[in-house]
Structure 1
Amino acid sequence: MNSTSSEAISRQHPLPLRPWQAACLQQALQSLTPQTPHFLCQATPGAGKMMLAAVLADELMSRGDIDFVLYLGPTRAVVARAVETLCEVTGLPMHGRLGAAGGAYTYHALNHRLQELKALCQQARVMLIWDESHHAAGRGEDEQDTSNRWGLALLALERHVQYTLALSGTPWRTDGSCLPLLRYVESTQGKPQAHPLPADGESSDEADLTHALVPDFVYSLTEAIRDQVCRLPRLQLIDNPAIQLTAYHPRSGRQETHHYSSIPHLLRHPTMQYSQLLRHSEPMTHLLERSCQQLRALRQQDPDAAGLVVASDIAHAEEIAEYLEDRGETVCLVTSRSPGAHERLSHFRDTKTPWLVAVGMVSEGVDIPRLRVCCYLSHIRTEQRFRQVLGRIIRREGIEDAECYLFALNEPSLRHFARRITDDLPDDLAHVQLASPSSSKPAADIPGNAGDPASGNGGASDLDAQSAQDPGLNPARIPSPHLSLNALPTLGLQVAPDVEFSNQFITRLIALQLSHS
């Protein structure tokens, strides 16, 4: 590998590099050698990882270190965007056919093209870029085989490529398995990206060891906000201080009524599921109304601003799109069932349509910087998914779009993830405040650790009691349609709960406000 020169790094590209991209580029050019052929860039969603990858590929081709670029991504939309960036930076065709300097495929397509790509890598010096690397599961040297199909394909292809560049904002897997090709070290601290060592023959102390991933370069959300690369996320969790659940005993017909001061409190009921709550008309429409209200305010200053609703499934997405259209909103519905879904998504990027409704097609890797509001109605409650969705709205366009907004229900797991995100914010911006729904200004400061499930309070915080005792937040209950939720059997007893909410939800717990100098 040739040594890095300042002239190489200062070469002109269609878009100037951000400082973090230039630093990562220099480090990658210095560290990629036949002895260390793998490089992991961990950068917050929205920071511009694909631009970095394209410039690195261009540098390596210009220096004669590689002949061909192979890109792998999770979806067709992500792959198409990557091809655009690679072509823009290198000025070379990336269609994968005769005469091209590169090719791009989804991970799913990799299995069908593995043999021909192996042959290509044996004939040319290839750089492999694998984006959103957490989709592939590998195995450690002493582990049982936990590889998934994509991980196995990567391992089979890797031995034939010259270099690999892994990109991810969340480089860990929810199932705890390792990512292939990357470097792990033993650690006694549990991390989201950690993978336990085998327990056979180990002592209790040794069993606590984990494999901690070691990225080659890290660019955090804190750095991205301070560098004005990403918007400041204002995460607002919606709750209700007066919830009533009515259940009927199927044998006696006796009606039982329970009162709850918060959504976490309600979710302790054995028959109540979060996925059911998302489809209840009152919390769902309230979240959508709050999101629409916020987007309207943003569009007064920025007519291009748009909002994203992440639904739980296709039927849910269609219901949400119908609701928004009934209230006069223009909606782009993009699901795997939508005709020409990828073309619709690409068209949405360049229009002024205010709302995009999807399930999973835009959860990661999709670059639509005009998205500034997100309504999270997905039943998936993992930190990885939560951060990936947040990444869709934090991509900054200019100096006038410093903030973005995410609305979700005050569910304990989502609250915990929101708390962890505040840990990644600059200290002077990580303010936790309580705001009433009728005002955009904070109503009261809440301690930074209030209501955190880790505190051992089971999800019911002091804020729950405060809300229930404050008559201003507990108005008379108004009639509402009783939605019969599909209940789970409990100890052989079938119940069919109906839930109604007070007519005033509150925005609580996480409302990140810009500090004022």
Structure 2
Amino acid sequence: MSALNSKPTSLTGEQPPLRSWQVRCIRQALQTLSPASPHFLCQATPGAGKMRMAAVLADELMGRGDIDTVIYLGPTTSVVERAAETLSEVTGQSMNGRLGAAGATYTYHALHHRLDELKRLCEQARVLLIWDESHHAAGRNDGMGGMNGANRWGLALLALERHVRYTLALSGTPWRTDGSCLPLLRYMTATPDAPGPDNSFTGVNDEQAEPAEYQLLPDFIYSLSEAIQESICRLPRLHLVDNSDIQLTAYHLHSGRTETHRYTSIPHLLRHPAMHYSNLLRHSAPMAHLLDLGCQQLLALRQYDPDAAGLVVASDIAHAETLAEQLEDRGQTVCLVTSKSPGAHARLRAFRKDTMPWIVAVGMVSEGVDIPRLRVCCYLSHVRTEQSFRQVLGRIIRREGTDDPECYLFALNEPTLRHFARRITDDLPEDLATVSLAGATSAGLVDPASPTTSPATPASARLTPSSSVPDAPSTDKPTAEGDDLATRLTLGALSSPGDAIAPDVEFSQRFIARLIALQFPSPGQP
């Protein structure tokens, strides 16, 4: 009996029953896929279980004789390995690409080198092509034999398309930051008042994309709102940390003058021409504060969930090494996985089943990696796109059971990230989403442990409104007596017409955390 009827069998025995959304999506795909409609896009929130759905769909298509072989494409080696395991478990057949196997799994990078081989396979068998995290590919057939905006992976997919029977695209964020279209998928021309596939999500990135001309039409959508309501995903608690007393001292090399400016928030500090967000991520004060908040939160969670773990997303390898050292200085055990870490993929697999509290990475745990015990994230990446922000949130949002209803993400109160955090609430009905501010303790820190020691505490009882950070920065004011200023950060000189400045930045200990909370009413409430 098929997995679609909730009684699947596999190499490892009986599989758990499918979720309601997975059943609906599979049935719709089975009705939709045909020689006249060979492509299907499933847009489901990160952490919802897209790969399990895809594996069962592949099994159903093989069972009814529509396909013979499955080819899976994914962004990274670790994602591809997990996909191969899931496909084998559900179908009961090998997916190693060797003689007698029912399929093969590759990274997008490997696709270019195996294109001719895969074309020959597709000519000899009826193939289902599953391309996961589909936003990595770009390219659109212009209808006249040409390709618009195609990247290397998009060109390879378009070249393979004519040889496969069906394609299944999977993504929780099916758009590209550069505004280009994804290959193989259906688009409609956007009206002047309607956003294109990317306009709704690019927000205020460092490099704005051109307005999209087309609007993507997914075949099936499963939203974050539905996933939280159905207890598939955790309720995300997003803490954006700010500082109400920042001092910047700029030395003008040309004139020899020193100027001191005072700022009451990080957004206003970043308006200074010599300041950049990537520099703040390496400043000892905000970096230490984010790690402290993450450690406090994870300690509270591990009181009743001993396997709970935290993820720190760094900007580069050197930054990751520094963050790992700082966690170890706090008595934490850390798994560091980067592209230069020996045996990184094996360590990542081991961490999934371990009880180690922290993992630090740059990009290896950003998308598609399934580690459900991750519940806390410190976002210290310089990447500021909504796609990346949501993908990282997806690493901590997948629930394991009934006793892990919430997850926590800590980041600096940078304007773009704040915009993305607020947009997450847009995924929910207006009567269920609220935006609040968390009160600071007398020491100037938000204590994440005290309001969350019991998962049964109502969401409404966990929020204490406080005044927001003042909007207007003040300049040239002396440091208030008694302020405890943190370590300075000296930036390299910034060339400007006729002058250059090398600023020092100091943060007071008065950090506060803005909490953007997604709330749901208690059972029985309207």
Question: After TM superposition, is the score higher than 0.5?
Answer: yes
Indicate the residue corresponding to 2:504 in structure 1. 498
Gaps of 5+ in 2: 9-14, 201-209, 452-461, 475-479
CA deviation after TM superposition for structure 1 residue 445, in Å: 6.5
Distance 1:224 1:36 in 2: 28
The code of the aligned residue for 1:10 comes to N
Q: Deviations over 1:428-476 (max 9, x none)?
A: 5422121123444433178xxxxxxxxxxxxxxx6424999xxxxx994
Identity over aligned pairs, percent: 68
What number of residue pairs does the alignment pair up?
481
From the superposition, tell whether residues 16 and 164 of structure 1 become closer, same or farther in structure 2 (CA, over 3 Å).
Answer: same
Distance 1:405 1:371 in 2: 10
Distance 1:511 1:262 in 2: 21
Q: What pairs with 1:472-491 in structure 2 (closer than 5 Å)?
A: 476-491=482-497
The code of the aligned residue for 2:164 comes to V
Indicate the residue corresponding to 2:428 in structure 1. 425
Aligned partners of 2:265 and 2:469 also within 8 Å: no
Q: What pairs with 1:141-160 in structure 2 (closer than 5 Å)?
A: 141=142, 145-160=148-163
Q: What pairs with 1:228-307 in structure 2 (closer than 5 Å)?
A: 228-307=231-310
Q: What pairs with 1:323-338 in structure 2 (closer than 5 Å)?
A: 323-338=326-341
The code of the aligned residue for 1:495 comes to I
The alignment partner of 2:501 has SS state of coil
From the superposition, tell whether residues 209 and 302 of structure 1 become closer, same or farther in structure 2 (CA, over 3 Å).
Answer: closer
Gaps of 5+ in 1: 1-5, 196-206, 447-461, 469-473
Aligned partners of 1:334 and 1:345 also within 8 Å: yes
The code of the aligned residue for 1:478 comes to D
CA deviation after TM superposition for structure 1 residue 362, in Å: 0.7
Indicate the residue corresponding to 2:198 in structure 1. 193
Distance 2:488 2:3 in 1: 67
Distance 1:9 1:513 in 2: 33
TM-score, reference length from structure 1: 0.89
Aligned partners of 1:57 and 1:127 also within 8 Å: yes
Aligned partners of 2:138 and 2:182 also within 8 Å: yes
The code of the aligned residue for 2:511 comes to F
Indicate the residue corresponding to 1:391 in structure 2. 394
Distance 1:23 1:347 in 2: 34
Aligned partners of 2:245 and 2:507 also within 8 Å: yes
Aligned partners of 1:274 and 1:379 also within 8 Å: yes
* 1:89 maps to 2:90: yes
The code of the aligned residue for 2:180 comes to S
Distance 2:473 2:236 in 1: 25
CA deviation after TM superposition for structure 1 residue 249, in Å: 1.3
Residue number among 430, 438, 444 corresponding to 2:465 in the alignment: 444
Aligned partners of 1:475 and 1:504 also within 8 Å: no
Q: Deviations over 1:26-53 (max 9, x none)?
A: 0000000001000000000000000000
Residue number among 322, 325, 335 corresponding to 1:322 in the alignment: 325
* Structure 1 range deviating more: 405-414 or 244-253: 244-253
The alignment partner of 1:179 has SS state of coil
* Structure 1 range deviating more: 483-492 or 351-360: 483-492
Indicate the residue corresponding to 1:181 in structure 2. 184
Distance 2:482 2:81 in 1: 53
Indicate the residue corresponding to 2:513 in structure 1. 507
CA deviation after TM superposition for structure 1 residue 250, in Å: 1.2
CA deviation after TM superposition for structure 1 residue 209, in Å: 7.4
Indicate the residue corresponding to 1:130 in structure 2. 131
Q: Deviations over 1:201-235 (max 9, x none)?
A: xxxxxx97720000000000000000111001011
Indicate the residue corresponding to 2:5 in structure 1. 10
Q: Deviations over 1:68-101 (max 9, x none)?
A: 0000000000000000100110010000011100
The code of the aligned residue for 1:226 comes to Q
Aligned partners of 2:58 and 2:128 also within 8 Å: yes
From the superposition, tell whether residues 338 and 63 of structure 1 become closer, same or farther in structure 2 (CA, over 3 Å).
Answer: same
Q: What pairs with 1:29-40 in structure 2 (closer than 5 Å)?
A: 29-40=30-41
The code of the aligned residue for 2:56 comes to V
TM-score, reference length from structure 2: 0.88
